[in-house]
Amino acid sequence: MNPADNADDTPSILLVDAEILARTPIAAYLRECGYLVIEAATTDEAWTLLERRQPLVDIVFCALDTPGARDGFALAKAVRSRWPDIHVVLAGTLQKAAEVATELCDDGPHLRKPYDSQLLVNWIKRLRASARR
């Protein structure tokens, strides 16, 4: 089953960020935009939620520096490997991105902190549109 096949086709986003002051307002904004938002403070918590597959997740939005057994890049790679139908959006500071850019150019951060709410929503819309093609 494709995650986009929710009963009412409401896109679901797993928001992974340990910084509650960053996570809470962006989660509230995404909910106001009509998305189902599931929050996780660690990559371990995110992985557990993904494995349950209830609710199905369309997009994982993850901060690079989120604590857990995996950092944000490793979580993104694991998600893409195990669930290729789930889109991943990464966010982080320029310093963190520079540390791993040579290794993971294609997976580099799409957004920078502090998050621009409208930029994130635009990114999500583009991902959803490309998945429907």
CATH of the domain at 72: 3.40.50.2300
Domain of residue 93: give its range: 12-123
Question: Count of domains in the chain?
Answer: 1
Question: Over the stretch 82-95, which tens digit does the pLDDT of each residue have?
Answer: 999 999 988 876 55
Q: Is 56 within the bounds of a domain?
A: yes
Which secondary-structure segment (H or E) carries 90? strand 87-92
Q: Is 57 within the bounds of a domain?
A: yes
Question: Over the stretch 51-86, which tens digit does the pLDDT of each residue have?
Answer: 998 889 999 999 988 999 998 989 999 999 999 999
Q: Is 6 within the bounds of a domain?
A: no
